[in-house]
Amino acid sequence: MPRGERTLRLQHGSRIEALCVLGGHVRADVFGAAPAGAVAFGVKHTEGVSVDVLFRGRAEPEAVPGAGTRWPLDEGTALRFSMSRASSEVNDNKVRSGILGMGPPRGRTSLRISLDVDADQDGVVEKNSPNKASWAWGPEGHGAILLVSCDKEFPFIPPSDCGHEQVFNREGTTAPQSALCPAFPLPPLRNLSREGTSPGTNPFFGQRYVQVLGRRKLFHAVPYPGGAAELDFFVEGLRFPDETFSGLVSIHVSLLEPLAEGIPHSPIFTDTVVFRVAPWIMTPSTLAPVNLFVCSMKDNYLFTKEIQTLAAKAGCKLKVCFGYINRGDRWMQDEIELGYTHAPHKSFPVVLDSPRERGMEQLPIKELLGPDFGYVHKEPLFEATASLDSFGNVEVSPPVSVAGKEYPLGRILIGSSFPAPAGRRMTGLVRDFLYAQRVQAPVELYSDWLAVGNVNEFVTFVPTSDKKRFRMLLASPAACYRLFREKQKEGQGQATMFKGYSGTDTKRVTINKVLSNDVLTQQNQYVQRCIDWNRDILKKELGLLEEDIIDLPALFKLDKQGKAVPYFPNTVTMIVLAKDLGIPKPFGPVAGGECCLERRIRALLEPLGLCCRFLEDVASYHGSLGEVRCGTNVQRRPFAFKWWHCTP
Amino acid sequence: MPRGERTLRLQHGSRIEALCVLGGHVRADVFGAAPAGAVAFGVKHTEGVSVDVLFRGRAEPEAVPGAGTRWPLDEGTALRFSMSRASSEVNDNKVRSGILGMGPPRGRTSLRISLDVDADQDGVVEKNSPNKASWAWGPEGHGAILLVSCDKEFPFIPPSDCGHEQVFNREGTTAPQSALCPAFPLPPLRNLSREGTSPGTNPFFGQRYVQVLGRRKLFHAVPYPGGAAELDFFVEGLRFPDETFSGLVSIHVSLLEPLAEGIPHSPIFTDTVVFRVAPWIMTPSTLAPVNLFVCSMKDNYLFTKEIQTLAAKAGCKLKVCFGYINRGDRWMQDEIELGYTHAPHKSFPVVLDSPRERGMEQLPIKELLGPDFGYVHKEPLFEATASLDSFGNVEVSPPVSVAGKEYPLGRILIGSSFPAPAGRRMTGLVRDFLYAQRVQAPVELYSDWLAVGNVNEFVTFVPTSDKKRFRMLLASPAACYRLFREKQKEGQGQATMFKGYSGTDTKRVTINKVLSNDVLTQQNQYVQRCIDWNRDILKKELGLLEEDIIDLPALFKLDKQGKAVPYFPNTVTMIVLAKDLGIPKPFGPVAGGECCLERRIRALLEPLGLCCRFLEDVASYHGSLGEVRCGTNVQRRPFAFKWWHCTP
């Protein structure tokens, strides 16, 4: 029974001993317990208990003074008891109801029993919060928050926390855990009781815990310790919200009272607390960088030197992933997504490991997972993974406001095959996981027109210091054709592309040649339509105006399957480190000693306070259908905004 | 792209042919398409198209008259086209933008493309409802509703519709269907396109359908038929909402435009409709009965005769389930739960088949399932079923209002082992199913203290014609002891129970004997505490006052496992047929030629306009731990209230 009114049966001629839970009422039917023919009754009680008389059909109860008054005994007449402080000894308070022939019900010991949590979200557990049994979103919301224990406290033991996560993923359905789940409707929980650690020890770093509740242990009996004893329980989440787990977890404590030998105990009080498991949150490229990750390969020494310079300039740390970990896989962006999780008392980064399993699969567990660095992995059981499962195909926008609806943590962008019939799509397990976090409502875009099929091939976001705070950059064949026509008109039609380019397309390509290539023109008209389709969705779903969008010149060509690949290094697939941009060097037509693409891009971005640095990535990345961004990854500072203040 | 603004790229010096979707806008960047140095432009257009000029930084567009005006060409200047009616022929409307050296973009054919549904919930499909792409609960809500095709149209073919339901249940997880799901995120759907049936045929009874979309067919290409053609598609739900399916289904149509030979088609418009699959709804015992079901057994001829009389009196049909179907299983209440489903255009009864598989398992499919009588089955894959899975353990309250929150279809009551540590509980699959219907938010009660463990052993609801409309009846040992003490006081302590009783307890049991049995008294104190625990939850969760509750005298005893069984036939486990109650004959102490229990029960219920008929069920039901209600089942009239007007 939730805190509230509890029914107590008085017994004709008997003394009843009863426990009264502080904060609750006990209601006793006097009429029902009185002998036939009784017409009136009186009540006496000790000081620690307050007593009201309730009459059927009357809304207001009547308070009972210490002694003296008599009341008529009608059908429905009842007594209501409550106690304002816990008893110092058993049966220290008594109520005596004098009815003809009826003995005194008495011996009421009050008991404070309460599960306490941080329901007001200030990082401190409060006593018996009135809001602890429910969860509400928003700045005026309430409810306790549970972190997923997805980090690894001790570097020398295997990552057992994560093992659990994987076990849950593999088991999947809810059937097994529902069979014997009396009080704990949700499974992904491990409830720890501290034993023997000194008070004040951070429970997450202490060692001597005994598991009292969990997936296969759904209840735990504790003898009532008496007096004002407190028991400390520690709770950890074992799984982020996903398609089959809403994120809400209830824990109950029930007080059972013995009646007599050979008769089961009966329940007299239940207290409930509700936790929401904190979501996994993505960080947009507009947030400040903390660590920049890149792989050291045999062929990218110069590139990593340039990246090092860029990181130093942007004031973030460079973390190099060496060959024994990357095992020949250079696509740092695609293997992991660096996000974080957050509760009022703590926040830490969490890496989402892609279902894509190539050379670098050991990186997140071996190099990232550690104390206060969490790990989560989503791997489908049956489906093969494909290019759209790479995390270059998951981005997140900066905070946006869309027709009055706020997305203070931005919206996740996922590349998909929609609206084309059939095609490739990100695995449902990861998509469902992203949707289930709820605080960055995903938008699905159309990326399957690209050979690699990742959203970061046509869209990115850069920070600005103006009112809008950011611009969305889109790859734009139209902008490139416009630029090239301008240059042609200025008499630079013979300006040559790909100067010093180390890739395979080493023929002399001029502006005139590009503009007169009808096949290329048509292919780029098609690409522009595909990008415009996404542009229109992005404008609508992120609430953007034309002024919020910058079109970066880009050209694509179609491969034999009719999928688009960049014609020259795709500048939109840049790294964004605050104001410092590491942009794939486009090797555009050089006129007057300067690449007109670089010049145009500077002209578009530098007035916004951004600093463009063009990085040569042809041999090491672009030649294998990736760019600067695909070979790097950035751990960013978390949002200052608290996700529980969202209203999803 | 949702109906809205579509980006169109003009091309310097080229004529662009474009499709304009009625109800949408097309936006074309004039500045971006103009040659370098252009400073002004003019626009001409034919009558069927309306054109605005948009300027960067200006909120209001400027309408373009037929011809004549010139505008300055600044960055961000764009044209916006829309068409108010569909074209009669291709390229019948033109816009010509005169910019220095720029050819006329023209040839705009408008096209009406719309998926139409009944989003205003009046049972009639309307043209292009503005609300069709979303679903909102409540009396002011909107959104199309889909019935689950769970009935069987043709009695002579096997129940294939249901076969699908079972297939989905068995497969369970979402993984397989997500691999190639471009446009249809939810699987449990079969989309039928009619071919060759005459217009006006009820689509649900026609035969010649071709499946165009479904779980393994996620898209369907249709050539644009030209003109004002309409294509009819029929959609049916294949699965009620459950833990892994919210009930919402989106269907999209995308218009793809060819550009040139060898280049993929590009998307130019998408329309979306959202359906909610109608839930399965339970009917409380306060709704009018339609059909009363009972099994014909070797030993219950007299009982079925009495039931027949009762049914005739209550004006409902008696349906007898004979031996070849019941195969020795008499527990009609436990095998099935008779509910219904409802959409604006149609409603029909649906039987929920219990996971309990005993003799009667063929009943729902062989006898109930048929045209406009649906069937749904929930069977756990791995768990054994137990007594708490019997549908005597699922009841539903009448409509209630709880602290301002309305439950116009009542709340489902499920018996569980909470708050006791460990114990039996209903299988998660069924509990999750009941929660997932959303419109009758379940309340879990404590029933595991009973040997059979079903909620209908201690609670039922009867209709009344007063303001409250119903009373909740609770089994009450306290009421029984009170009555017996009254009778003892009146000098009837020697009155004997179980007169004419055919059960095993044939010793002479008097009131004095019952009242002096201390073990029985203590056991009933315990039972009363268990019932009071539920009483307190029911008062809180159904918003009931003491006056809304009637305590029916009952006695229990504990078996060797400490679980409660009725001491005499349990009167609360009655059948309710409107005002006519079929109550288990309690065989109470007879004084003055009358059973004092029957007399008390009449005194409690008859003033409310109810008619009590006591039915002897000892040999055929009570002796096997069941009562009248357990051996019967009632199909009731659906609620007049429309579930989509709920706000869950």
pLDDT digits (tens, 9 = 90+) for A502-549: 766 567 899 999 999 999 999 999 999 999 999 999 999 999 999 999
Give B591 or A491, the one with higher predicted confidence.
A491
Task: Decide if A340 is inside a domain.
Answer: yes
Task: For the beta carbon of residue A210, count every other beta carbon within 10 angstroms.
Answer: 10
Asked which of A90, A111, A132 is the last residue of a domain, the reply is A111
- Distance of alpha carbon A352 from alpha carbon A375, whole angstroms: 6
Q: Mutate which of A102, A482, A528 to test chain B, going by most B C-beta atoms within 10 A?
A: A482
CA-based nearest distance A150→chain B, Å:
24
Task: For the beta carbon of residue A594, count every other beta carbon within 10 angstroms.
Answer: 13
Residues of B in contact with A425 (CB under 8 A): 178-182
Q: Mutate which of A418, A476, A561, A600 to test chain B, going by most B C-beta atoms within 10 A?
A: A418
> What is the average pLDDT score of chain A?
83
What pLDDT, on a 0 to 100 scale, did the predictor assign at position B213?
Answer: 84
pTM of the complete model: 0.84
Q: Identify whether residues A55 and A150 lie together within a single domain.
A: no
Residue B540: which of A2, A175, A532 has the nearest Cβ? A2
Chain A residue with Cα closest to B183: A418
What pLDDT, on a 0 to 100 scale, did the predictor assign at position A164?
Answer: 34
- Distance of alpha carbon A608 from alpha carbon A579, whole angstroms: 9
Q: Identify whether residues B101 and B201 lie together within a single domain.
A: no
Q: Mutate which of A3, A8, A9, A14 to test chain B, going by most B C-beta atoms within 10 A?
A: A9
Residue A76: which of B382, B528, B547 has the nearest Cβ? B547
Tell me: the pLDDT tens digits for A365-390? 888 988 899 999 988 777 777 888 89
Residues of A in contact with B256 (CB under 8 A): 419-421
Residue B485: which of A35, A523, A530 has the nearest Cβ? A35
Q: Confidence class of residue B97 from pLDDT cuts 50, 70 and 90?
A: low
CA-based nearest distance A448→chain B, Å:
10
Q: Confidence class of residue A67 from pLDDT cuts 50, 70 and 90?
A: low
Chain A residue with Cα closest to B529: A266
Q: Identify whether residues A214 and A251 lie together within a single domain.
A: yes
Residues of B in contact with A264 (CB under 8 A): 420, 449, 526, 558, 562
The answer, yes or no, to whether the previous bond of B419 is cis (omega within 30 of 0) is yes
Q: Which of A130-144, B199-213, B252-266, B393-407 has the lowest mean pLDDT?
A: B199-213
Both tokens of residue A32? 């029902």
Task: For the beta carbon of residue B366, count every other beta carbon within 10 angstroms.
Answer: 13
Q: Identify whether residues A266 and A295 lie together within a single domain.
A: no
Task: Decide if B122 is inside a domain.
Answer: no
- Distance of alpha carbon B391 from alpha carbon B397, whole angstroms: 15
Question: For the residues B80-104, what does the mean pLDDT come to?
Answer: 63
Q: Identify whether residues A258 and A285 lie together within a single domain.
A: no
Q: Do B449 and A177 touch (CB under 8 A)?
A: no
B293 touches B632 (CB < 8 A): yes
- CATH at A453: 3.75.10.10
What pLDDT, on a 0 to 100 scale, did the predictor assign at position A603?
Answer: 97
- Phi then psi for B144, rounded to 5 degrees? -70, 155
In the predicted structure, residue A26 carries a pLDDT above the cut 60 = yes
Tell how far CA A470 is from the center of its chain: 23
Both tokens of residue A222? 């504790």
Report the b/e string of A71-102 with b at 16+ CB within 10 A. Answer: bebeebbbbbbbbeebbeeeeebbbbbebeeb
Catalytic residue among A162, A530, A595, A630: A630
What pLDDT, on a 0 to 100 scale, did the predictor assign at position B443?
Answer: 96
The residue written with tokens 């009358």 in the block is B594
Q: Identify whether residues B100 and B233 lie together within a single domain.
A: no
- Distance of alpha carbon B232 from alpha carbon A191, whole angstroms: 55
Q: Mutate which of A5, A79, A265, A266 to test chain B, going by most B C-beta atoms within 10 A?
A: A266
- Distance of alpha carbon B409 from alpha carbon B392, whole angstroms: 19
The answer, yes or no, to whether the previous bond of A419 is cis (omega within 30 of 0) is yes
How many domains, chain A? 3
Residues of A in contact with B179 (CB under 8 A): 383, 425, 427-428
Range of the domain at A80: 5-111
Q: Do B419 and A558 touch (CB under 8 A)?
A: no
In the predicted structure, residue A169 carries a pLDDT above the cut 80 = no
Q: Do B418 and A35 touch (CB under 8 A)?
A: no
User: Rounded to 5 degrees, what angle do the CA atoms A457, A459, A464 make?
Assistant: 135
Bridge partner residues of B105 (DSSP): none
Residues contacting residue B155 through CB under 8 Å, at least 6 positions apart: B370, B371
Q: Confidence class of residue A483 from pLDDT cuts 50, 70 and 90?
A: very high
Q: Identify whether residues B538 and B639 lie together within a single domain.
A: yes
Burial class (CB in 10 A: 0-12, 13-18, 19+), B163: exposed
Q: Where are the alpha helices (DSSP H) in B277-345?
A: 301-314, 323-326, 332-335
Residues of B in contact with A173 (CB under 8 A): 172-173, 381
Residues of B in contact with A562 (CB under 8 A): 262-264
In the predicted structure, residue B162 carries a pLDDT above the cut 90 = no
What does DSSP say about strands B336-343 and B281-282: parallel, antiparallel, or unpaired?
Answer: antiparallel
In the predicted structure, residue A170 carries a pLDDT above the cut 60 = no
Task: Decide if B116 is inside a domain.
Answer: no
Residue B36: which of A78, A428, A486 has the nearest Cβ? A486
Q: In 3D, which of A284, A634, A601 has the Cα closest to residue A469?
A: A284
Q: Is A501 helix (H, G, I), strand (E, B) or coil?
A: coil
Task: Decide if A128 is inside a domain.
Answer: no
Q: Do B173 and A175 touch (CB under 8 A)?
A: no
Q: How does DSSP classify residue A637? A: P
- Phi then psi for A331, rounded to 5 degrees? -90, 70
Within 13 Å and on the Cβ side, how many CA atoms surround A528? 25
What pLDDT, on a 0 to 100 scale, did the predictor assign at position A89?
Answer: 63
- Distance of alpha carbon B586 from alpha carbon A61, whole angstroms: 37
In the predicted structure, residue B442 carries a pLDDT above the cut 80 = yes
Both tokens of residue B390? 């019997």
Q: Where are the alpha helices (DSSP H) in A231-390?
A: 301-314, 323-326, 332-335, 363
- Distance of alpha carbon B418 from alpha carbon A267, whole angstroms: 9
Residues of B in contact with A428 (CB under 8 A): 174-175, 177-179, 181
Bridge partner residues of B342 (DSSP): B347
Q: Do A267 and B489 touch (CB under 8 A)?
A: no
Counted across chains A and B, CB pairs separated by less than 8 A come out at 277
H helices then E strands: how many in chain B?
Answer: 12, 40
- Distance of alpha carbon A147 from alpha carbon A137, whole angstroms: 17
Most confident region among A149-158, A492-501, A579-588 by mean pLDDT? A579-588
Task: Decide if B399 is inside a domain.
Answer: yes
User: Rounded to 5 degrees, what angle do the CA atoms A50, A51, A57 make?
Assistant: 145
What pLDDT, on a 0 to 100 scale, did the predictor assign at position B154?
Answer: 60
What pLDDT, on a 0 to 100 scale, did the predictor assign at position A130?
Answer: 85
Asked which of A277, A303, A319 is the last residue of a domain, the reply is A277
- Distance of alpha carbon B268 from alpha carbon B256, whole angstroms: 6
Chain B residue with Cα closest to A59: B545
Both tokens of residue A247? 């994120």
CA-based nearest distance B346→chain A, Å:
32
Q: How does DSSP classify residue A467? A: T
CA-based nearest distance A536→chain B, Å:
6
Q: Identify whether residues B241 and B209 lie together within a single domain.
A: yes
Asked which of B226, B243, B277 is the last residue of a domain, the reply is B277
Full strand arrangement of the beta sheet holding B443-446: B394-396, B412-416, B443-446
Q: How does DSSP classify residue B85? A: S
Tell me: the pLDDT tens digits for B301-332? 999 999 999 999 999 999 999 999 999 999 99
Q: Do A172 and B174 touch (CB under 8 A)?
A: no
Residues contacting residue A292 through CB under 8 Å, at least 6 positions apart: A307, A310, A311, A314, A316, A317, A318, A319, A575, A577, A632, A633, A634, A635
Chain A residue with Cα closest to B255: A419
Residue B522: which of A32, A260, A546 has the nearest Cβ? A260
Q: How does DSSP classify residue A450? A: B
Both tokens of residue A421? 């019939």
What pLDDT, on a 0 to 100 scale, did the predictor assign at position A154?
Answer: 59
Residue A562: which of B57, B263, B268 has the nearest Cβ? B263
Question: For the residues A463-488, what does the mean pLDDT come to?
Answer: 96
Report the b/e string of B471-503 with b at 16+ CB within 10 A. Answer: bbbbbbbbbbbbbbbbbbeeebbebbbbeebee
What pLDDT, on a 0 to 100 scale, did the predictor assign at position B505?
Answer: 58
Task: Decide if B636 is inside a domain.
Answer: yes
What does DSSP say about strands B594-595 and B443-446: parallel, antiparallel, or unpaired?
Answer: unpaired
Q: Do B526 and A266 touch (CB under 8 A)?
A: yes
CA-based nearest distance B290→chain A, Å:
35
DSSP E strands in A46-94: the ranges are 49-54, 62-63, 70-72, 78-83
B264 touches B175 (CB < 8 A): no
A253 touches A230 (CB < 8 A): no
Residues of A in contact with B215 (CB under 8 A): none
- Distance of alpha carbon A335 from alpha carbon A626, whole angstroms: 13
Q: Do A562 and B174 touch (CB under 8 A)?
A: no
- Phi then psi for B479, rounded to 5 degrees? -65, -35
- Distance of alpha carbon A582 from alpha carbon B138, whole angstroms: 51
Chain B residue with Cα closest to A533: B1
Q: Identify whether residues B216 and B265 lie together within a single domain.
A: yes
Q: Do A4 and B485 touch (CB under 8 A)?
A: no
B321 classed as catalytic = no
Q: Do A485 and B33 touch (CB under 8 A)?
A: no
Chain A residue with Cα closest to B483: A36
- CATH at A201: 2.60.40.1700
Q: Confidence class of residue B87 from pLDDT cuts 50, 70 and 90?
A: low
Chain B residue with Cα closest to A29: B546
What does DSSP say about strands B336-343 and B346-353: parallel, antiparallel, or unpaired?
Answer: antiparallel
Q: Identify whether residues A393 and A475 lie together within a single domain.
A: yes
Q: Identify whether residues B371 and B262 lie together within a single domain.
A: no
Q: Identify whether residues A246 and A290 lie together within a single domain.
A: no
Residue B382: which of A175, A254, A256 has the nearest Cβ? A175
Global ipTM: 0.80
In the predicted structure, residue A317 carries a pLDDT above the cut 60 = yes
Task: Decide if B123 is inside a domain.
Answer: no
Question: Based on C-alpha coordinates, what's the Rg of chain A?
Answer: 33
Tell me: the pLDDT tens digits for A189-235? 334 333 333 332 233 333 457 788 877 777 888 887 666 677 888 88
> Which phi-psi region, left, alpha or beta, contains residue A76 (left: φ > 0; alpha: ψ -120 to 50)?
left
What pLDDT, on a 0 to 100 scale, did the predictor assign at position B140?
Answer: 94
In the predicted structure, residue B616 carries a pLDDT above the cut 60 = yes
- Percentage of residues in chain B with pLDDT exceeding 70? 83
Q: In 3D, which of A51, A56, A582 has the Cα closest to residue A289?
A: A582
Give B403 or A22, the one with higher predicted confidence.
B403
Catalytic residue among B321, B596, B630, B646: B630
Task: Decide if A292 is inside a domain.
Answer: yes
